[in-house]
Amino acid sequence: MPQTDPAEACNAIFRHLTDIPAWPQLPERSFLENMYVQYSEGFPGVVLENDRIYIDRSKDLSDEMEELYMAYIENDLDRYAISPDYAPGFYEFLSHPADSVIALKGQVTGPVSFGLTVTDQDRRPSLYDETMADAIARLLRMKAAWMERELRKRCENTIIFLDEPYLASLGSAYVALDNETVIKLTNEALGGLTGLTGMHCCGNTDWSVLMATNIDILNFDAYEQGESVGLYPDALNSFLDRGGVLAWGIIPNKSSDLKGQSVNTIIERLSSLFELLIGKGIARDALVEQCMLTPACSLAGMSVEEAEEALQLTSAVSKEYREIHSREGK
């Protein structure tokens, strides 16, 4: 979200996302809320310096690595809790009543994106060091499990996402990573959770790899990239058959795209994507019943007013979508 005041951001979220509110990350407030910094507390050798995050591999990290692995083995979630300075939006979010919500949603940065962005002191991605990659996945697993535990104190139903923008480069020359490693790291990072899990990737990717992980919900930019999911009908059918949910990021998160949009224009876009998938052999009932609607991606690049407009449109489209399919008996 674009706000710098956690209360203001949370008020906007609870005002519009009344069914499944999500706690707000506020990157405009502080570098500590950069999505790669926000979950880095406690990682062995991590350094924050002049708006840069890196891992100092020049020193002996064995003691810190041992501490991380012992906390992992003992499930000591408090050892790697996210502090208020790094996520004030989360703590403000927990102060809001949640009696009438369906679920509460949280998110951590995924291990692939974290490992490609957080390099060592010589700017070598930490993901390509097997020991470091494993440690990253375990740290994020503890962060996610701690977050879920705290959210469950407010609501028994939780959804925790991995945010993985770098998976848009999967299979390219920029990301030398095999599919099995992506699946392994993803499943490890989400392995300590008891509630629903999901993954968000805002660009085009090999969706079959993401659907082969243990996630319950796949969230994608349906406004700009919606057709790309239709390239993998077999994987999509398998995902839906096991109860997977598609979270359609159908509300644009760019100011130029949001301007002039209405409930009707968004419903038309969503309906056209449904028909595309139905034409590829995906069951209509599964698409309707196993469906969530969200903004396309982060709203932090918009003005505060535009971000609230996007949330309001998300809610309005969701209401209209349900009414349409209720009238149709779905």
Over 90: is that where the pLDDT of 173 sits?
no
Q: Do 196 and 322 fall into the same domain?
A: no
Q: State both tokens at 141.
A: 């697993």
Q: State both tokens at 194.
A: 């008891």
> What pLDDT is recorded for position 72?
97
> What pLDDT is recorded for position 330?
53
Looking up tokens 């629903």 gives: 196
Over 80: is that where the pLDDT of 180 sits?
yes
Q: Do 158 and 235 fall into the same domain?
A: no
Helix (H, G, I), strand (E, B) or coil at 274: helix
Q: Do 108 and 187 fall into the same domain?
A: yes
Helix (H, G, I), strand (E, B) or coil at 202: coil
Q: 35: which DSSP letter?
A: T
pLDDT tens figures, 254-275: 999 999 999 999 999 999 999 9
What's the one-letter identity of residue 239?
F
Q: Do 327 and 250 fall into the same domain?
A: yes
> Using CA of residue 54, residue 56, residue 62, residue 63, what is the dihedral sign?
negative
Q: Is 2 part of a structural domain of the chain? A: yes
Q: Do 188 and 228 fall into the same domain?
A: no
> What pLDDT is recorded for position 149?
98
Number of separate domains in the chain: 2
Q: What domain range is 295 assigned to?
A: 224-330
Per-residue confidence band for 325, with pLDDT thresholds at 50, 70 and 90: confident
Q: Which of 165, 193, 220 is the last residue of a domain?
A: 220
The reported pTM is: 0.95
Q: Is 115 part of a structural domain of the chain? A: yes
Q: Do 230 and 196 fall into the same domain?
A: no
In the chain, count of helices (H) and strands (E)?
A: 13, 9
Q: Is 327 part of a structural domain of the chain? A: yes
> What pLDDT is recorded for position 329?
67
Helix (H, G, I), strand (E, B) or coil at 220: strand
Round to whole Å and give the CA distance between 212 and 220.
Answer: 15
104-109 and 52-55 beta bridge pairing: unpaired
